[in-house]
Amino acid sequence: MEAIIQLQDVSKEFKVLNRREGLKGSLQDLFSRDYKIIKAVNNISMDIMPGEIVGYLGPNGAGKSTTIKMMTGVLKPSSGTILCNNVVPYEKRSENAQNIGVVFGQRSQLWWALPAIESFKILKDIYQVEDKAYQDMMDLYASMVDMESLMHKPVRQMSLGQRTLCDILAAFLHNPGVVFLDEPTIGLDVAMKAKIRELVQTLNKEKNTTVILTTHDMGDVDALCERIVIIDKGTMLYDNDIQHLTELFGAYRTLSLSLVKSGKDVTEEKMNALVNSVEQTLCHRFDIQSGQAESGKQEEMTISVTKNEDQIEVLVDESKTNIIDVLNAIQKEHRIYDMHLQEISTESVIKKIYEGGLV
Ligand SMILES: Nc1ncnc2c1ncn2[C@@H]1O[C@H](COP(=O)(O)OP(=O)(O)OP(=O)(O)O)[C@@H](O)[C@H]1O
Ligand SMILES: [Mg+2]
């Protein structure tokens, strides 16, 4: 099978002004400009197969959106080549547009003042979607979401969730080979996130659409992605199955503890205090990685403590530390209302990689 998207040694550099501070600085900037080069994307190569859902992950500023902009033809790479459906996106932007759909979580592609249905009709014309194909798509949509309540509202009157739903439906409308989703669930509540994930999954299955997804929400990744690509500072750190990634960290398990009575009002501050206190408890006996751990010391550290809503999560490398010893130590100083043990979560795996756990 041939790849639907191919990136070969793709890099993107931005030339930005090194701004000087204050009024004097601004005036100096007017006369002598001091530029610096940012390598936003650095030698990325990958092949994406038809029908794949690929999670394109990395911390803020890693270069994800820049890569997507190059794949969609908005930006031209500084070097390297991209092929999307056998088209060079930045050379044939409108031809490429026929083959792709795009959703940027923070802003809508739809016409603000128009009811969604009107936007859809315009898109149908722009992309020259045949009546039958359009009707089939609308029927498929109607089987998944309540189109009646959604389609007749002007986009500007919609909630963020409704608008995102519409944006996703619009992106798939002309049945493109590839859909790019850049943080599609940002700012949405739990129920709407689930709805969006279900929708993307169904459309991927029904239409065999390739999906490239960037997100900071590991729930999206767990629900949708088999393959993940991780970049940081423009450079690729990982490209493989998510399964493989979890196995790399197979010796890690997460101990989730309820140290406050459930249902009680728990504040962010209180949870932070608990994290600190559990860290203190463990720090005397074990090698522990705290939030402010100095870099360079990380590889020896085998325990990390974080919070997840009203739970305290202790990530333990069992090849180095006995998890029962950890539990005992915590129990001496904290009341444990509930606990459970689980495999390392995607969230923790990704966090470890961002922290340099793979290299
Ligand atoms: N138009 C631009 N001009 C100058 N620098 C830019 C431009 N666009 C992006 N950058 C820089 O390139 C780097 C990568 O940015 P990019 O938006 O691709 O990151 P990202 O991975 O999408 O991050 P986030 O998770 O925060 O969305 C950053 O350092 C950013 O400041
Ligand atoms: Mg981005």
pLDDT < 50 positions in the chain: 291-300
- Residues carrying CATH 3.30.70.3400, the chain: 251-343
- Minimal-distance CA residue to ligand 1 atom 16: 63
**Ligand 2 center–CA 229 separation, angstroms:** 15
- Confidence at residue 287, expressed as pLDDT on a 0 to 100 scale: 64
pLDDT of residue 358: 61
CATH number, domain 5-247: 3.40.50.300
Q: For position 304, what pLDDT does the model report?
A: 86
Ligand 1 contacts CB of residue 63 (under 6 A): yes
Are the C-beta atoms of 202 and 144 separated by less than 8 Å? yes
CATH number attached to the domain at 251-343: 3.30.70.3400
Q: Does the beta carbon of 57 lie inside 6 Å of ligand 1? A: no
Segments of the chain assigned to CATH 3.40.50.300: 5-247
CA 322 to ligand 2 center in whole angstroms:
39
Percent over 70 (pLDDT), the chain: 94
Residue ID of nearest Cα to ligand 1 atom 2:
14
From the CB of 215, is ligand 1 less than 6 Å away? no
Q: Measured from the CB, is residue 40 less than 6 Å from ligand 1?
A: yes
| CB proximity list for 193: less than 8 A, separation 6 or greater | 185, 217, 219, 220
